[in-house]
Structure 1
Amino acid sequence: MKYRRVGNSGIQVSEIGLGSWLTYGTAAEQEAADACIRSAFDLGINFFDTANAYNRGAGEEAVGAALKPYRRSSYVLSTKVYFPMDSGPNDRGLSRKHIMEQCEASLKRLGTDYIDIYFCHRYDEGTPLEETLRALDDLTAQGKILYAAVSEWSGPQIAEAAEIGRRLNLRPLIANQPIYNMFERYIEKDVMGVSARNGIGQVVFSPLAQGILTGKYKPGAELPQDSRAANDQVNGVIRSYLQDRVLECVQKLEETAARAGLTLSQLALAWVLRRPEVSSAIIGASRPSQIEENVKAVEAQLPEEILTEIEAVLHEVRDFAPAR
């Protein structure tokens, strides 16, 4: 495994992180979480990401239970705040009240004394940004979080937050967690640049485009029954990828990967990690074998001719915009 600093901070995370977006609730899923986190540790992964909104707290509980056997200082744990956790008007967003209450709730669900990186899961138009940033700074001063961060914020939003932080002498944000993969590249336009100028690293999610970039889905073929796309409870986003022209593009990328001596998922992860602005790429896994395959991407070096070939293939679907 290789490690990168997160932005201008001193903390280092594994280039491949393990997330828990589509989890957990049954005993079987807890067993899968335990097995995957055990495998991740064995392979050198030290970064584990979850959120309070993942199955209304069940994701945090599962991750916390799976991490319990490990020394707390041996891993970097992140979670998030923003999305509704109940039906009340203050049970959502980035108000001081919601942030403080949800941080306490997350600590209890995770079974830990502190959160390494605490993400604002989205931008809150209804709360003054200064209020949000002061609440995060207070949590840091209290030792309940070590670093504050954001997720899916735009370039101007990140720039404004950084400016307010400097003006108020607040502890700086260290990371942004956006979606980033071969099909969704909006952060290349301004988010990466604005973030880099303000010492903020990118910890990206969905680098395999919800599994599309594993090659398991074929044009004109039935969906694998055990796949995410076949599960109506979680396939709202992935369905938009399931167009023949997109899947034909994926098949061409799979041929490119073979020429590079890689699997398609390894190629896709190495492509994301080619950018120095990216601190870590967060994968999801239900089986240890998936992690074992994906971590090999950190050793891959993509030559210029492979990168050029990838761009030529992606140009064929340049107007494709997945549903969000």
Structure 2
Amino acid sequence: MPALVIAEHDGRTLHRATLHTVGAASACACGIHMLVAGHDCAGVAAEAARVAGVSRVLHADAEHLGDGVAENLAPQIVALAGRYSHILAPASAFGRNVLPRVAALLDVVQISDIIDVLAPDTFRRPIYAGSAVATVRGLDAVQVITVRGSAFEPAAASGAHADIERVTVTADSGLTQLLERDMDGGERPELGSARVVVSGGRGLGSRENFESLLGPLAKSLGAALGASRAAVDAGYAPNEWQVGQTGRIVAPQVYVAVGISGAIQHLAGMKDSKLIVAINQDADAPIFGVADFGLVADLFDVVPALGGSFASPA
């Protein structure tokens, strides 16, 4: 039986995390289908049909699916589940919201945040904030899985010509209504897929310092902004910027940690970054234990100079 990948998208384009999930699905089953559920998202379905490894795209289009709320999306997935051995989604806020409800409706165990596929029913996943790795085996007829994207190579975004199948849409549950979505970040790259991430911690001291110091540096580097949980809890940065065990898991080419001490919960969200740069005035900060380059200095002196040095010439 093939695997079903649940596409994460914004109604206009696939999120890169979906490509990583396809990479994981290719190790689980002999074929891959993708569900694109939403409203007026034919363009996303066409994009999904070009993803390497995907042989069929299931397109569910209805107004009540447009917001991507779990209460409506989960029944749609469950209605299709009998055709598949595996159901996979990114281990993002999207996947963590939808798949637990899918697993509950199917009365199966969810296997969360996998980093390796040893066999179609056997997976590796981090536990204890990444300080240990567990090998788990699923015994259910259908495996419901969230995938840590940084652990799998993404499928190529083009090269395939999958069939697109319109599927019967399940009814509106009437349980949830999305009132507002407030997206912060402007024109910066999306945190989960950015090649460079600049993250700030409690050492920045205020929301004003966070934006005035890290904003220019991120702009100069073409980077996304991230934050430690301490910075988010202090109100310096919005929740969607949080990197760590209870936030986003990122693995950019370059991760710049500014004023972040390096608690284990934060390290769990960024330690797979290809190059880690740390700036902290505490020489004993744990972040230096994982950093490729470390600078023991006052961030209020260093960061403005860095932002200027990377700025494009007039």
TM-score of the superposed pair, with normalisation by structure 1 = 0.30
Higher relative contact order (CA 8 A, sep 6+): 1
TM-score of the superposed pair, with normalisation by structure 2 = 0.30
Whose radius of gyration is greater, 1 or 2? 2
Structure with greater proportional helix content: 1
